[in-house]
């Protein structure tokens, strides 16, 4: 991996960890301060609006980054189309959904809170201007926008929590933070939207056409990881869903490591689609080493992490986390394949394979949850994520990318599995399983040559450059 790409990937990783870490901390505080009924409203509205937000963030934004990276001279028009497309999605879909469906379950207060929640589709975490910076390779600007959004929104939300505010006020604070940062980012951006009436509308339509397979794919993936919540509710009740939800939140933080690296890598792929396989081969090994280190550490420490973060009442979720976090191994391999296919303009293929993964997820949940409940739900989710990549490997067009990704990741995955087996056999008391796993995996990676001295030197240089 080149030094410039390593520096960008390091900064992208730091960006995602800091941003999501702040959001995760606010969520933990909210769970402990809000009354259960208010926290339930907050999580209900976030879950209800999440599919549309995911479709915008993982659909419109990705194709916009690709378009601006390929043709930098058209960045202003693409940005105008992106802003118009997000506004249209909010006005035509998110706003009616919030007011007429999500808010219809309660009185006027819930309807107002749902209206505020819909604003996440409009601005997200200041996404349009983050996307512009990504496309231009300005990872420092990406970090600044995301950090400002996370800090301002987090501060406003903490003020609401400490003053005894409601779920609606909490959502309003979240959206207000993003709106303010988006306004400042627009003022300081090196590119301004070129709004030319019908041209901007045509650009928005073009982005929507390119984005819908990715948006639908993101929706399907969210259903793959959320299907267990629905089946578990019917079989084991709300408490089991709460345990699974706590485990899912922690597992998602591990999967985000791959997302952070791709903040910098994807624009390079999009600008030079003919080099996708070369870039993927350069990134695959270090990405897999990092993600699998986090996977085995969290899996072995799961019995301690869940009760420490969410409270003793959630301790039963530790068993689910031990299994569920292994789904991040498919994030380490699949993210390179996904972004490579998008860079090559083959995103529709992802839609077909994830339809199969969703069907498998539902079938496995129905079969495994009644017998194994929490563990069965976690196992079904991980298996379904693997099925999606198996289906991609069966298609001739995507088979080379899947094979190359797994060749790069397999040694790290094998080392993580061996590490987990040793730690389970040792039966160490808490808090030592997680500590021992982190150290043993790192030593194994260095001893087997997976992690080399020049890798460590490059990482140090990249981290120094990222600062």
* CA atoms in the 13 A half-sphere facing the CB of 194: 11
Are 146 and 37 found together in one domain? Answer: yes
The alpha carbon torsion through 283, 284, 289, 294 (nearest 10 deg) reads 90
Mean pLDDT score, 170-175: 91
* CA atoms in the 13 A half-sphere facing the CB of 212: 6
Are 118 and 239 found together in one domain? Answer: no
Quick one: pLDDT at residue 464? 43
Quick one: pLDDT at residue 462? 42
Are 224 and 185 found together in one domain? Answer: no
Quick one: pLDDT at residue 461? 47
pLDDT in tens, 42-70: 777 777 787 788 778 777 888 888 888 87
Bigger pLDDT: 152 or 283?
A: 152
Q: Which of 294, 319, 288, 289 shows the shortest CA–CA distance to 306?
A: 319
How far is it, in rounded angstroms, from Cα 58 to Cα 52?
10
Q: Is there a domain that residue 460 lies in?
A: yes
Are 191 and 222 found together in one domain? Answer: no
Quick one: pLDDT at residue 444? 93
pLDDT in tens, 218-271: 777 777 776 776 677 777 776 777 788 788 888 888 888 777 777 777 777 777
Are 386 and 303 found together in one domain? Answer: yes
Work out the pLDDT band at 399, boundaries 50, 70, 90. Answer: confident
Are 163 and 231 found together in one domain? Answer: no
pLDDT in tens, 406-415: 888 899 999 9
Quick one: pLDDT at residue 463? 41
107: pLDDT strictly greater than 60: no
φ and ψ of 164, to 5 deg = 80, 25
Quick one: pLDDT at residue 292? 93
Quick one: pLDDT at residue 460? 44
Quick one: pLDDT at residue 300? 95
Average pLDDT value over all residues in the chain: 81
Domain that holds residue 169: 1-195
pLDDT in tens, 349-367: 777 777 888 888 888 888 8
Q: Is there a domain that residue 207 lies in?
A: no
2: pLDDT strictly greater than 70: no
Whole-prediction pTM:
0.74
Are 223 and 190 found together in one domain? Answer: no
Bigger pLDDT: 310 or 251?
A: 251
- Of 10-14, 209-213, 292-296, least confident by mean pLDDT is 10-14
Q: Is there a domain that residue 203 lies in?
A: no
Query: Domain count of the chain?
Result: 2
Are 150 and 48 found together in one domain? Answer: yes
Are 91 and 169 found together in one domain? Answer: yes
Are 229 and 295 found together in one domain? Answer: yes
Quick one: pLDDT at residue 129? 82
Quick one: pLDDT at residue 459? 47
Boundary-marking domain end, from 133, 163, 195: 195
Bigger pLDDT: 109 or 246?
A: 246
């Amino acid at each position: 991996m080149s030094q410039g790409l390593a520096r960008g990937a390091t900064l992208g990783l730091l960006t995602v960890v800091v941003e999501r870490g702040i959001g995760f901390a606010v969520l933990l505080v909210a769970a402990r301060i809000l009354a259960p009924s208010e926290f339930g409203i907050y999580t209900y509205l976030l879950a209800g609006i999440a599919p549309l937000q995911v479709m915008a963030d993982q659909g419109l934004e990705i194709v916009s980054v690709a378009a601006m990276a390929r043709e930098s001279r058209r960045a202003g028009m693409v940005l105008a189309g992106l802003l118009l497309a997000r506004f249209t999605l909010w006005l035509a879909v998110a706003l009616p959904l919030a007011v007429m469906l999500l808010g219809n379950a309660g009185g006027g207060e819930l309807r107002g809170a749902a209206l505020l929640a819909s604003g996440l589709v409009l601005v997200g975490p200041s996404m349009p201007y983050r996307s512009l910076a990504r496309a231009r390779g300005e990872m420092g600007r990406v970090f600044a926008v995301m950090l400002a959004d996370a800090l301002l929104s987090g501060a406003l939300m903490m003020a609401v929590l400490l003053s005894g505010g409601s779920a609606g006020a909490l959502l309003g604070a979240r959206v207000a933070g993003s709106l303010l940062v988006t306004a400042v980012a627009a003022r300081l951006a090196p590119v301004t939207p070129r709004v030319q009436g019908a041209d901007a509308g045509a650009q928005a339509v073009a982005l929507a056409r390119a984005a819908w397979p990715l948006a639908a794919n993101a929706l399907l993936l969210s259903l793959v990881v959320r299907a267990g919540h629905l089946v578990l509710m019917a079989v084991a009740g709300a408490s089991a869903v709460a345990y699974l939800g706590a485990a899912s939140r922690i597992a998602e933080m591990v999967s985000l490591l791959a997302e952070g690296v791709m903040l910098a890598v994807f624009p390079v792929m999009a600008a030079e689609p003919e080099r996708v396989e070369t870039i993927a081969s350069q990134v695959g090994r270090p990405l897999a080493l990092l993600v699998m280190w986090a996977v085995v550490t969290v899996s072995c420490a799961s019995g301690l992490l869940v009760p420490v973060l969410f409270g003793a009442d959630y301790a039963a979720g530790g068993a689910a986390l031990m299994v569920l976090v292994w789904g991040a191994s498919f994030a380490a391999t699949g993210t390179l394949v996904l972004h490579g296919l998008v860079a090559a303009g083959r995103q529709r293929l992802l839609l077909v394979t994830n339809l199969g993964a969703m069907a498998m997820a539902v079938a496995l949940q129905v079969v495994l949850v009644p017998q194994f409940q929490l563990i069965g739900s976690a196992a079904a989710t991980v298996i379904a994520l693997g099925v999606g990549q198996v289906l991609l490997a069966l298609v001739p067009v995507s088979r080379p990318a899947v094979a190359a990704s797994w060749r790069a990741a397999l040694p790290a995955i094998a080392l993580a599995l061996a590490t987990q087996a040793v730690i389970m056999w040792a039966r160490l008391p808490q808090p030592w399983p997680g500590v021992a796993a982190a150290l043993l995996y790192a030593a194994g990676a260095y001893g087997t040559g997976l992690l080399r001295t020049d890798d460590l030197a490059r990482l140090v240089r990249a981290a120094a450059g990222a600062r």
